[in-house]
Amino acid sequence: MNDKKTTYTGDIIQGIPVINNLNINDLEQNKVYRFMFQGSAMNIGQPWFVPLLVARGAKAGKSLLLNTGIHGDELNGIKVIQQLFAQLDTSQLAGTIIGVLQASPNSLVHINKNWLLSTDGGDFENMNRLFPGKENGNSAEQHAYLLWNNLWRGNVDYMIDLHSQSTDTEYPLFVFADYRNVLAQQMAELIPADQIKNDEGEIGTVETTFIQHGIPAITIELGAARIFQSDYIQRTLIGIRNILAKFGFSNNQITDTALSNNTFIGNQMISIRALHGGYTEMLVSIGEDVNYDQLVAYQINQFGDIIREYRTPTAGKVLSVGTSAIREAGGLLVRILYNTPN
């Protein structure tokens, strides 16, 4: 139930009206809105603003939230939302699509995975571990609280959070989905991804917070940080249009899916991380099948001597690799997706 009203603060930013509360039912049908949502305040007293689009279909229906920009170095997702809205015809749409373009403006300003705090000379929070936020927390927790309570809660029937891998690492087109939620599984398998992980989620993520509230949600990881990758963007758009068709938002045909794309679906993943600082030679690439005890990477020191070799603890498929030629201890080298019977 949505008990709040769409509230305009009276401010206009870049020609766009500012709101601090959204109720999609207050908005006219057959129309696309642009808003700036007022988030938490900076140390200088000025608010962070989150730009968003709301498309109201000519016909009533369900609501899909597309969210991106939770992590500030992950950029592919904004292009997905921009292109979807550019090609959207609200006269043919039943229901509502909300596109949140820069969920964590603080993190995007810094092209950083984390939300940076000025407190005590500098601290940070991973926004994708803070939901549903804290009303009286720090600025990151308050921002999460405002997104959850004033923008999303009551407005969303299906949710897709668009991410990529972090800086210096890379995924293919990859989906996290909690298969205990049948609709989340259906959503995941409507994406013509390379790999899917049936995953119980992590407390505090956007996806898991929606799942905990009974709303089907998935996380799509589009490749690498900091760049636009058109293949992943286009296949994500195909998947979102499939989801719109499947759940009654459009009369489109379902096209390429996980089934037709022969997507690899695993239920376990394991990360091989650097145990030492040094230069890294990677011996495998994303999507490659690896055997148990296969040599996948090694590190050399500044003189070129081999200091560490890394072997697989299990057979499986390479899900992610470190792309930087230099890694310190703890840095990801190889992540493997695989299956166990349970």
- Applying CB under 5 A, the residues found at the interface with Zn ion are 71, 74, 163
**Residue placing its CB nearer to Zn ion in the complex, 215 or 220:** 220
**Residue placing its CB nearer to Zn ion in the complex, 10 or 330:** 330
Of 216, 160, 227, give the one whose Cα is nearest residue 191: 160
CB 284 within 8 A of CB 139: no
**Residue placing its CB nearer to Zn ion in the complex, 54 or 193:** 193
Shortest approach of Zn ion to residue 330 CB, angstroms? 18
> What is the chain's Cα-based Rg?
21
Backbone angles phi, psi at 35, to 5 degrees: -135, 155
**Residue placing its CB nearer to Zn ion in the complex, 71 or 153:** 71
Three-class SS state of 302: coil
CB 285 within 8 A of CB 215: no
Shortest approach of Zn ion to residue 127 CB, angstroms? 9
To the nearest 5 percent, what fractions of the chain are helix, strand and coil?
20, 35, 40
- Three-state secondary structure readout of 272-299: EECCCCEEEEECCCCCCEECCCCEEEEE
**Residue placing its CB nearer to Zn ion in the complex, 74 or 170:** 74
Shortest approach of Zn ion to residue 219 CB, angstroms? 8
Of 108, 58, 121, give the one whose Cα is nearest residue 250: 58
Residue whose C-beta lies closest to Zn ion? 163
Q: Which residues, in sequence order, are bridge partners of residue 56?
A: 31, 96
Shortest approach of Zn ion to residue 128 CB, angstroms? 6
Shortest approach of Zn ion to residue 169 CB, angstroms? 11
Q: Which residues, in sequence order, are bridge partners of residue 24?
A: none
CB 330 within 8 A of CB 299: no
Shortest approach of Zn ion to residue 299 CB, angstroms? 26
**Residue placing its CB nearer to Zn ion in the complex, 19 or 70:** 70
**Residue placing its CB nearer to Zn ion in the complex, 68 or 150:** 68
**Residue placing its CB nearer to Zn ion in the complex, 194 or 299:** 194
Of 169, 216, 175, give the one whose Cα is nearest residue 197: 175
Backbone angles phi, psi at 211, to 5 degrees: -55, -45
Of 66, 71, 65, give the one whose Cα is nearest residue 105: 71
Shortest approach of Zn ion to residue 126 CB, angstroms? 9
Shortest approach of Zn ion to residue 229 CB, angstroms? 15
Three-class SS state of 121: helix
Q: How far apart are CA 118 and CA 320, in angstroms?
A: 33
